[in-house]
A and B are shown apart, each in its own frame.
Chain A
Amino acid sequence: MGELVVDELQVLQQYQEEEDEINGLLPLVLLYGPTSLLSVFGSEALEKKFIFLKPWENPQVPIHEFLLTHAKNVKACLCLGKTELDSKAIQCLPSLQLVVTCAAGLNHIDLVECRRRGILVTNAGNVYAIDGADYCVGLLLDVLLRVSAADRYVRSGIWPLKGEYRLGSKLNGKRVGIIGLGSIGTEVMKRLLGFNCKISYNSRSKKPWIPYPYYSSVYDLAVNNDVLILLCSLTDETYHVINKEVLAALGKDGVVINIGRGPLIDEKELVRCLVNGEIGGAGLDVFENEPQVPKELLTLDNVVLSPHKAVFTPESFIELQELIVGNLEAYFMKKPLLSLYKNE
């Protein structure tokens, strides 16, 4: 199809040849997203080094109008939060060469348009991988051992009245299928091996350096595992990858853990399976319509619900801030970017 693989050096060379001193002082960066989010990522450090154009401070001006009027010469854009950077917005930024993002997933950025224009995109690298992996394992342990449900049991004061809480299910030795063996998947795998779990995986392609079974279909992965963990990106191919057939294959003792994106799972079908006991349990950090959570789930004990926070720790925010600053500085100093996303 003739998709351009972007040559980073080519772009940087172009930049060098142009007149780029707009303010004569700090480099200009477009802040694409609510300004309040800047403080989450450490505004002091960022505003010391860059001047930010903040369209969200001018809510009375429609965004595309603002961009066309004020952002003609902007070369770098910092995307905070989940605000969609669609092709229309990108078209209003004729000088744009770099998009720095903060989210673990990039499905809110029009990557096709970026590729077409030769715009470089940086992602959050491995910053979220470790916290995401920790949380994933925590959710799985909670679902199997009924930690949250048992904690509710104690807090309600029922323990002295009703006696021993019901039994959970052992994690040790369980067969765990990981969907998406990227940076988070690899960290999850490492941790689960400490619990003697048997690992297998599904990914866009087999990874020859991984010594565990590869299944080319999620259905086959489900047939052969007790647990499925969703760690892949949300794309057209992976939308509702966990569907009725996969859930049936996983079976009534099976557990699903999702810290990826809500739409990876056919939520209605999952809810139906959980309510009818056709699935053993689920640990969900993401949902199809956040912050809406299907009300049937709110009373189930074999489900652990989490408000999209798997990767958010103070430690990862500090690392992310350093990564954002690092990527922007590298760009303006014509050095290699720290976490360039391979937009192929």
Chain B
Amino acid sequence: MESIGVLMTCPMFNYLEEELETKFKLFKLWKFSEQKPFLQENSNSIRAIVGNASVGASSELIDSLPKLEIVSSFSVGLDKIDLNKCKEKGIRVSNTPDVLTEDVADLALALILATLRKICESDRYVRSGLWKKGDFKLSTKFTGKSVGIIGLGRIGAAIAKRAEAFNCPISYFSRSEKPNTGYKYYSNILDLAANCQILVVACPLTEETRHIVNREVIDTLGPKGVIINIGRGPHIDEPELVSALVEGRLAGAGLDVYENEPEVPEQLLGLDNVVLLPHVGSGTVETRKAMADLVIANLEAHFLNKPLLTPVV
């Protein structure tokens, strides 16, 4: 398979890069300042794209690669891939579900605890020498608080399982009710927001879910509410979120994603009641390796005419 051309869209993980280089003919898109000439020159060799949550497979990119057969995404999210175009053109698509579920769910809980119990803020307090001057303030209890999850897929369910161990009542909103969860279902996101204190975004980003957390949802959640986003930045109307936090209409937020990564709204950088992470969900050594292995396995399966392990299209 060393002659099969694979295009990697951006730097994502050294191990993955090395493996792709060994097994295929790897083209690194980011190394070319002029993409058009590069693509023109090599388009006939490229039969696969490896993309991720930052740079996927856009309509233009797909169109410029006439020999493209498969997009193997180093992510579970598919919002950066033009799925319709892939379907139209018979291009296969695979992603990395399951292997990152636990990590992302762990991160959601890490954000909840860090936000409610002010862990990062108190770490700053100690590092700045303020502890010598006085005790830190109180932080609010997590156990038993109501958790509302938007999207009860693999990640949402894993978050619910963890929150249950903290005796949190769980409720959720999703396109349809899931049977036998034991959790309270709301068919309307405002009802979910009205009935929980910690709102967690865990659904895929699609046209329907863009800005699903808007001003109305934020107002309904209320001034004691906390929003946790481990989905995609565009799930939340970011300017509305920022003003709610700045004005105290929301108690706090734990964010791993933003509308224009890596740009983070400046007003957030000065707030103490938020925890800001640079899109690290799935960012553990163990998980990234498992994701990389899955990307490679899907590519190999495709080129050996075997069934894809984790097909999307």
Give A residues with C-beta under 8 Å from B.
Answer: 130-131, 133-135, 137-139, 141-142, 144-148, 150-155, 157, 159-160, 163-165, 167-173, 190-196, 290-293, 298, 304-309, 312-317
Contact = CB atoms under 8 A, between A and B. Distances in A.
Interface in B134-168: 135-136, 138-143, 161-166
Contacts of B142: 134, 138
B166 A142 contact: no
B120 A148 contact: yes
B284 A170 contact: yes
A315 B278 CA distance: 32
B117 A134 contact: yes
A194 B165 contact: yes
Contacts of B161: 194
Contacts of A165: 277-278, 280, 283
A160 B263 contact: yes
19 contacts: A138-B142, A147-B110, A148-B123, A150-B277, A151-B114, A154-B264, A159-B278, A168-B285, A191-B165, A192-B165, A194-B164, A195-B109, A290-B131, A293-B126, A307-B136, A309-B139, A312-B138, A313-B117, A317-B138
A138 B117 contact: yes
Given A194-B163, A314-B140, 15 more contacts: A135-B117, A139-B119, A141-B106, A145-B110, A147-B277, A150-B277, A163-B11, A168-B283, A169-B286, A172-B102, A194-B162, A298-B126, A304-B119, A305-B123, A313-B141
B88 to A, nearest CB: 33
A148 to B, nearest CB: 4
B284 A145 contact: yes
B103 interface: yes
A147 B278 CA distance: 10
Contacts of B119: 135, 138-139, 142, 147-148, 304, 306
A78 B269 CA distance: 44
A91 to B, nearest CB: 31
B165 A193 contact: yes
B275 interface: yes
B122 interface: yes
B132 interface: yes
Nearest to A129: B143
B120 A291 contact: no
Interface pairs A-B: 4 shortest CB-CB: A194-B165, A138-B113, A141-B110, A172-B102
Interface in B164-207: 164-166
A193 to B, nearest CB: 6
Interface in B86-111: 102-103, 106-107, 109-111
Nearest to B54: A164
Contacts of B264: 154, 159
A145 B107 contact: yes
B143 A131 contact: yes
Contacts of A131: 141, 143
Contacts of B123: 142, 148, 304-306
B284 A169 contact: yes
A268 to B, nearest CB: 18
A163 B55 CA distance: 14
Contact of B141 (A167, A169, A305, A316): A316
Given A130-B141, A306-B122, A170 B287 contact: yes
Contact of A307 (B126, B143, B276, B279): B126
A204 B197 CA distance: 40
A130 B143 contact: yes
B125 interface: yes
A291 B131 contact: yes
Question: Which interface residue of A133, A153, A167, A192 has the most chain B CB atoms within 10 A?
Answer: A167
Contacts of B163: 194
B37 interface: no
A191 to B, nearest CB: 5
A298 B262 CA distance: 27
B288 interface: yes
B306 interface: no
B126 A306 contact: yes
A151 B277 contact: yes
Given A157-B269, A195-B162, A315-B140, A298 B127 contact: yes
A179 B14 CA distance: 38
A53 to B, nearest CB: 26
B277 to A, nearest CB: 5
A317 B139 CA distance: 11
Contacts of A307: 122, 125-126, 131, 135-136
B60 to A, nearest CB: 24
